Amino acid sequence: MASSPRSPPPAPTPEFEISRQSRLFAALSKKVIDLDELRMLAAQGVPDAAGVRATVWKLLLGYLPNDRSLWEQELAKKREQYAAFKDEFLRNPVETARRVETEGHHNVNAEHVDNGFLHRSEVTREEHPLSLGKTSAWNQFFEYSEIMEQIDRDVKRTHPDMHFFCGDSSFAKSNQESLKNVLLIFAKLNAGIRYVQGMNEILAPLFFVFRSDPDDKNAKFAEADSFFCFVELLSGFRDNFCQKLDNSAVGIQGTLAKLSQLVAKYDRELQQHLEITTEVNPQFYAFRWITLLLTQEFNFADTIHIWDTLLSDPDGPQKTLLRICCAMLILVRKRLLAGDFTSNLKLLQNYPPTNISHLLYVANKLQ
């Protein structure tokens, strides 16, 4: 007899895990990787012991081409491009002024130079610290200083329980610096969105997985690889971060409405009790679930396993994410149906520990 969506799947045997790992290795060893096959395997979870999650995620996000012979060339090109972004967007205005001064020093006649310093007349209005010109490095520096402060605050709060992200070690500080670099460059390249609080939480799993790559050569370029994968991941649901679209069909309110419809489809009694009887609307709890891709609802290891499944969706993570959110409600339905506004809100804003394999199994049954 087939199990119901709420009954747990049979626990995988060690033999099954070894078989899954070997199938994953076989899929990755092909000259041209079959992405449909890879998605199917990764959706069941990438075995931690395999040491291939970084490669799998890069393939799922389209950062690596499916033709293995192109990997080295493609990675070199992207990493060089990121280095150029850092040089352009992270340079301090003082360094810019010095560079302009040095370049000017080489280009003016000797009579315009006095003891190695440019005459005041050689400093253009755009390069002056008090310049209001939009192209001024100083103007841009001050314009983004508030965003830089917000990013700095958020990065320091990222997973405070993990030595990887927090603490006084040079390793943790280096990782924090990488997160800040990626987020600031993203903000400068995406003026319509810039930086939205919580983006650090979406970047963290990517950077952790890539920085933990057993291949030291790849781990060294975790910052660059994380940037491009972060951009790709956000492209699938960037409208959730765009304030102007909040109340549109494609904005966060539209996404929350889709969740409500999904819950009603599979459990109308639960949906009506939540939204009508107790008036616990999705925006009270699922706003964070959706915008932060469930990074705040589970421990970090469980989040990584959930992301294996999210990133495997060929249409982007949104549909799979909504199914997982719906499954989260179904798994605690008895408590929700017995609860009032206060108890239900508390339960959903502090989701209880759960078996992630079971959660993903239930979510899969909702297709």
The 10s digit of each residue's pLDDT in 1-38 is 344 555 555 555 555 566 888 999 999 999 999 999 99
Q: What is the mean pLDDT of residues 213-221?
A: 96
Q: What is the pLDDT of residue 204?
A: 98
Query: Please, what's the largest Cα pairwise distance for the chain?
Result: 94
CATH 1.10.472.80: which residues of the chain? 243-365
Nearest CA to 289 among 252, 340, 249, 336?
A: 252
pLDDT digits (tens, 9 = 90+) for 135-192: 555 555 666 788 999 999 999 999 999 999 998 899 999 999 999 999 999 999 988 8
Q: What is the pLDDT of residue 15?
A: 59
CATH 1.10.8.270: which residues of the chain? 72-94+135-233
Q: What is the pLDDT of residue 235?
A: 85
CA atoms of 253 and 61, how far apart (whole Å): 26
Q: What is the pLDDT of residue 254?
A: 87
Q: What is the mean pLDDT of residues 218-243?
A: 85
Q: What is the pLDDT of residue 146?
A: 87
**Cβ–Cβ under 8 Å, residues 224 and 83:** yes
Contacts with 270 (C-beta within 8 Å, 6 or more apart), sequence order: 263, 329, 330, 333, 336, 337
Torsion of CA 251, 252, 255, 257, to 10 degrees: -110
pLDDT digits (tens, 9 = 90+) for 63-113: 999 999 999 999 999 999 999 999 999 876 555 445 545 555 454 444 433
CATH 1.10.10.750: which residues of the chain? 14-69
Is the domain spanning 243-365 CATH 3.90.79.10? The answer is: no
Q: The pTM is what? A: 0.83
Q: What is the mean pLDDT of residues 112-127?
A: 41
More confident residue, 132 or 77: 77
Q: What is the pLDDT of residue 98?
A: 53
CA atoms of 183 and 205, how far apart (whole Å): 14
Nearest CA to 325 among 299, 353, 288?
A: 288
Contacts with 185 (C-beta within 8 Å, 6 or more apart), sequence order: 82, 85, 86, 89, 90, 227
Q: Is the predicted pLDDT of residue 128 greater than 70, yes or no?
A: no
Crossing angle of the two packed helices 300-310 and 199-211, in degrees rounded to 10? 90
Tokens of 294: 């469930």
* 150 residue type, one letter: Q
| Three-state DSSP state, 330 | helix
Pick the CATH number of 72-94+135-233 from 3.40.710.10, 1.10.8.270, 3.10.450.200, 3.40.50.2300: 1.10.8.270
Band of the pLDDT at 48, cuts 50, 70, 90?
Answer: confident
**What do you get for the CA distance between the two ends of the chain, in Å?**
20
Q: What fold characterizes domain 14-69? A: Arc Repressor Mutant, subunit A (1.10.10)
Beta strands 117-118 and 113-114: pairing type?
antiparallel
The torsion angles phi and psi of 312, rounded to 5 degrees, stand at: -85, -10
Q: What is the mean pLDDT of residues 116-142?
A: 48
Q: Is the predicted pLDDT of residue 57 greater than 80, yes or no?
A: yes
Q: Within 13 Å of residue 266, how many CA atoms lie on the same side as its CB?
A: 25
Average pLDDT across the chain, whole number: 84
